[in-house]
Amino acid sequence: MNMMSEAAVEKALDKKMTDMSYKMIGNDVSVYYGEKRALFDVNLNVRENTVTALIGPSGCGKSTFLRTLNRMNDTIEGCRVTGKITLDNDDIYDKEIDVVELRARVGMVFQKPNPFPKSIYENIAYGPRIHGLARNKADMDQIVEASLQRAGLWTEVKDRLHEGGTGLSGGQQQRLCIARAVAVSPEVILMDEPCSALDPIATAKVEELIHELRANYTIVIVTHSMQQAARVSQRTAMFHLGQLVEENDTDKMFTNPDDQRTQDYIMGRFG
């Protein structure tokens, strides 16, 4: 998006949207934590190069659904997923699929900034190193710089790449985590309330970043903030009590939703 004008980008992306190319398709996805059922037959498709926002009251299953997309739920004891989720038509819960490879393709940014207690450089370089993306030091330097630039952090940290990543401010840490996710060249980036621990200025920066990242990545973001969903996303999905209530264009969701519950939630009547 460097050379193209903003309007041209929007136009190109909108055209892509109308192509209805689904990056990930969720079919009858249900999740159980032991005996407890957390998700009920969710059918939700994620479009390529689109920001999809997942909204809903606490405990509605939006984070759970997000975590099924890169199988982070596997790490939770007693968690079971049924249904089918595909990434580019490959079933990600298939036995043939290597979860390590999947997570390299579907990256994740967490609620609380969680940089490794290592240098900024090492934070970025870790992913490419374990996936063998860099052949030598120069390659790695290049990946680190490109990732930090994508995350809009390069100018702020280029002079202190070898200082601790935990010494950055909260907003910078979160952008560092985004840069870290970007460094392994994923296709999809999952964000679990990435701004909930940030102040409004840092939030604005991260939102701007999400907007830019959309050109190259498919983004799914869980958020508690209606305004944020309206600002950053093109598609919005509303969850309630483990069920997908409605999924629609963001504009339509916030002006004229199909479902009464969506209307009520957006108007602040519950949740």
Partner 1 sequence: MTDVVSSPAGVLAKPARRDIGIKRRYAAERRFRAYGIAALSFGLLFLALLLWSVVSKGYTAFQQTMITVPVEFSEQVIDKDNERATDPQKLMTANYPIIARNAVAKALGVAESNTADLRAVNQMISNSVRSQLRDMVVANPQIIGTTQTVSLLAAGDIDSAWKGQINLDVSEDNRKVSDKQVGWMNQLAEAGALAKHFNGGIFFNGASSRPEAAGVGVALIGSFYMMLIVLVLSLPIGVAASIYLEEFAPKNRLTDLIEVNINNLAAVPSIVYGLLGLAVFVNFMGLPRSASLVGGLVLTLMTLPTIIIATRAALKAVPPSIRAAALGLGASKMQTIFHHVLPLAMPGILTGTIIGLAHALGETAPLLLIGMVAFVANYPTTPMDPSTALPVQIYMWANEAERAFVERTSGAIIILLLFLIVMNVGAILLRRRFERRW
How many whole angstroms separate alpha carbon 249 and alpha carbon 252? 5
Question: Residue 44 forms beta bridges with which residues?
Answer: 26
Contacts of 151 (CB under 8 A, 6+ apart): 175, 176, 178, 179, 182, 209
Q: Which is nearer to partner 1, 4 or 130 (CB)?
A: 130
Q: How far is the CB of 184 from partner 1 (least distance, A)?
A: 6
Residues 81, 73: contact at Cβ < 8 Å? yes
Q: Which is nearer to partner 1, 180 or 261 (CB)?
A: 180
Residues that bind partner 1 (CB under 8 A): 70, 72, 75, 77, 100-104, 107-110, 112, 114-117, 126-127, 130-131, 166, 177, 180-181, 184
Which residue shows structure tokens 């090492």? 122
Q: How far is the CB of 180 from partner 1 (least distance, A)?
A: 7
Q: Which is nearer to partner 1, 93 or 116 (CB)?
A: 116
Q: How far is the CB of 2 from partner 1 (least distance, A)?
A: 26
Q: How far is the CB of 178 from partner 1 (least distance, A)?
A: 12
Question: Residue 239 forms beta bridges with which residues?
Answer: 244
Q: How far is the CB of 185 from partner 1 (least distance, A)?
A: 11
Q: Which is nearer to partner 1, 121 or 254 (CB)?
A: 121
3-state secondary structure of 264: helix
How many whole angstroms separate alpha carbon 144 and alpha carbon 62? 32
Question: Residue 90 forms beta bridges with which residues?
Answer: 87
Q: Which is nearer to partner 1, 6 or 98 (CB)?
A: 98
- Residue 214: phi, psi to the nearest 5? -55, -30
